[in-house]
Structure 1
């Protein structure tokens, strides 16, 4: 049974000269700075009470190169980079760790071995065909209940509340494209593209396959179908955050010609604990 994730709250923080939009994510114990129009130091001072109240341990932001310096001066580090992410400009994934524990990962050696193995699959040809017993389709609102059952079975914890059919319905109506695979009218695999129409980038995410159906090439087919849909709407950049400890998901993205862009340390509460996430990116 999945442990329930909270829906992150978005707030606007008033500054002396401007404002900032932030996302308070208590489940993943972090704050994301979505937009900043004003002084960073002033914002960080105003975030301190929220950090203390919710016991948050990481501040995360995505910015262009020209806006990096003030964040570096405040202790942010670059964890990943995606070329072309922000209207053609590189997007820098930067983080400030509030606690020493949050910035330390004990899994780096194992994660590096998985990354090396995944990269061996680049530039290989492979088939997108799946057996006739499987049906692939675009998810509609009516599929929300079946999708929620899949995610509840696959993940002990997950960064977003995919256990909730209402949340999935909301996502379907808010620029999230789900593809699913059915077998005997049961959803056995699914993935989504979380689309940002401002910058024409999309996160390939919510990848899940029931244990007994793994090794059938289902996730590769889902990624392939999602990419085809995004090409039709002129999306330019695709990326994914794959669990750094998951050989399967890292191999899937490497196979699909995604390039490694960095690693976000202790970023998501997934599979029962905070885990490091590898960034994979692809230009369409």
Structure 2
């Protein structure tokens, strides 16, 4: 499987050799001291280099006391009232930094993207008439796998398959695709957490023949419109920090920059830092 997903002592844990990283989030009643010990043991056994956690402000203080550092913050991530934090501990200290060239690129992308920020009241852009955006059912997961095969043809270890998609569906994920003449051009996966009152855009995959056309714009537009139906107050996502296109796309949609997760995951053959962006449900004006 692309990545192992399991529940450890009340925490949802993602880990695997491709990213050489553990990513976990936990509920309020978790024994964090015991959980952290298990995360450290798992990291040492598997030779993982980084442990990343998504958590509340209260738990963030505990993690900081254990050597974790804050890499991103989303105000009101939990039900619109409690701030959310992403904190990291680097088992391999060399993974913590990057060279000046990459640092400058990350800073430039961030600056240009933030300059493109648009208010939520901006015009709605209509999709071309020959395109259709719709949710994919479980019996269509083979279409997603085929798209991944095309997008990651030369990086087969990064291909998500039907088994992995089925596991995500069990964890309240939904799958959307942009089609043209029956062909899947772009896919998006959304993780919906009704308990936390938020949703995550997990990833976009674009057919290699259609890259650079900003087709993901229409999926983001559609996902924003689904917030109320899912009773979610916040959308968040992680985007390659060196990608001008997606960072600008989210900023244009009114997403706010929350921070950068350093050297967080492998994308094709490069260890990439990820920018965290979030969008808040606009407050209704009072009479």
Q: Show CA shifts across 1:148-187 (max 9, x none).
A: 111222235599x753123223434542122211122110
Contact 2:75 2:82 in 1 (8 A): yes
Partner SS, residue 109 of structure 1: helix
Displacement after TM superposition at 1:78 (Å): 0.4
From 96, 109, 113, the equivalent of 2:89 is 96
Q: Show CA shifts across 1:201-248 (max 9, x none).
A: 001122122233234442111111122122222211100000111111
From 119, 124, 129, the equivalent of 2:114 is 119
Name the counterpart of 1:23. 13
Contact 1:32 1:59 in 2 (8 A): yes
Which structure 2 segments of 5+ residues have no match? 282-287
Partner SS, residue 8 of structure 1: strand
Contact 2:25 2:55 in 1 (8 A): no
Partner SS, residue 245 of structure 2: helix
Q: Hey, what's the Cα distance between the residues in 1 that align with 2:41 and 2:117?
A: 46
From 184, 204, 210, the equivalent of 1:207 is 204
Contact 2:148 2:160 in 1 (8 A): yes
Partner SS, residue 37 of structure 1: coil
From 220, 227, 231, the equivalent of 2:224 is 227
Contact 2:149 2:156 in 1 (8 A): no
Distance 1:237 1:158, change over 3 A: farther
From 234, 238, 261, the equivalent of 1:237 is 234
Partner SS, residue 257 of structure 1: coil
Is 2:67 the partner of 1:70? no
Is 2:46 the partner of 1:49? no
Q: Which moved more, 1:192-201 or 1:250-259?
A: 192-201
Distance 1:46 1:231, change over 3 A: closer
Q: Which moved more, 1:196-205 or 1:23-32?
A: 23-32
Q: Hey, what's the Cα distance between the residues in 1 that align with 2:32 and 2:127?
A: 53
TM value normalised by structure 2: 0.85
Contact 2:49 2:95 in 1 (8 A): yes
Partner SS, residue 198 of structure 1: coil
Displacement after TM superposition at 1:74 (Å): 1.6
Displacement after TM superposition at 1:189 (Å): 0.8
Contact 1:130 1:217 in 2 (8 A): no
Distance 1:265 1:194, change over 3 A: same
From 101, 105, 114, the equivalent of 2:98 is 105
TM value normalised by structure 1: 0.86
- The root-mean-square deviation of aligned C-alpha atoms, in Å, is 2.4
Name the counterpart of 1:5. 2
Is 2:245 the partner of 1:255? no
Distance 1:39 1:123, change over 3 A: closer
Q: How many residues align?
A: 272
Distance 1:33 1:217, change over 3 A: closer
Q: Hey, what's the Cα distance between the residues in 2 that align with 1:5 and 1:50?
A: 18
Partner SS, residue 269 of structure 1: strand
